Amino acid sequence: MRRRRASLIAIVTIASALASVASAQTLRTDPLTIYAAASLSEVLRGFDPAQGYSFAASNTLETQIRNGAPADIFASAAALNTQRLFRERLVEKPITFTSNRLVLIVPKSNPAGIRSVYDLKRKPVKLVIAGRAVPVGTYTRTVLRKLGLTSALSKVVSQESDVKAVTGKVALGQADAGFVYATDARPAGDRVSVIRIPAKGQPRIRYEIAVVSGSSNKTRARAWIKTLLSVRGQAALKRYGFLPLPKAPS
């Protein structure tokens, strides 16, 4: 009887140990849930396809995280979104991890004959931009203000929810021009032409990333961010057209 009881205890102990190992392995292989700006969709999928991504406008993702969405990491195209969540203690301290620049894109056929960003003021064009709350929409308005082109806002025919929507409308010929990140113009290169924006008109674009405070995978999330900041991660960002970490203003 005692021998049988000992055998049962041994079996239960082994089964429990195996279950613990299986559980640990599952935890190690479960993908992180990364909420990231739409402009990061190509580079992050290319950099680490094993993770789970939700791509949208940074302001939309900020709202979702504030409402309790189960994200482990938030990567934003603007510091404003991560910093607001940080002040509310909904994310850990954000880190700047890359930069970008804005360009003006036109359809390959260029029906409006746009050759310069200043043509937006001189010609009757149909302009598409992102909404004011979307980072690329805010950056667009900064460009127009810096270049003395705010009157071009009267030619806006639609305001889109994210940069991919702006790119798509121009690529389909539904608008004469649109402001997007240089990294979003690249994948659409066979359907659009790029017009550079003068350096004096470029906004200071900072992408920030942070671990979400409600994450149950904080250790892995911090390690993933560290990898993105490493030489390998920065090289991946560069391959997709992103810019090096911006220097702090003096």
Residue-by-residue pLDDT tens, the chain, 250 positions: 555 555 545 444 454 544 443 444 444 569 999 999 999 999 999 999 999 999 999 999 999 999 999 999 999 999 999 999 999 999 999 999 999 999 999 999 999 999 999 999 999 999 999 999 999 999 999 999 999 999 999 999 999 999 999 999 999 999 999 999 999 999 998 999 999 999 999 999 999 999 999 999 999 999 999 999 999 999 999 999 999 875 655 5
Alpha helix (H) residue ranges in the chain: 2-29, 41-47, 58-66, 79-87, 119-122, 135-146, 163-171, 182-185, 218-229, 231-239
Tell me, letter by letter, the H, E, C secondary structure of 11-71.
HHHHHHHHHHHHHHHHHHHCCCEEEEEHHHHHHHHHHCCCCEEEEECHHHHHHHHHCCCCC
How many C-beta neighbours within 10 Å does residue 117 have? 22
The answer to whether residues 209 and 226 touch, using CB atoms and an 8 Å cutoff, is: no
Separation of alpha carbons 39 and 94, rounded Å: 18
- Residue ranges of domains in the chain, CATH in brackets: 31-99+206-239 (3.40.190.10), 102-201 (3.40.190.10)
Do 91 and 212 contact (CB within 8 A), yes or no?
yes
Q: DSSP assignment, residue 216?
A: S
Q: Which two tokens stand for residue 24?
A: 């640990």
Place of tokens 């991890």: 97
Contact 220, 32 (CB under 8 A): yes
d(CA 108, CA 191): 5
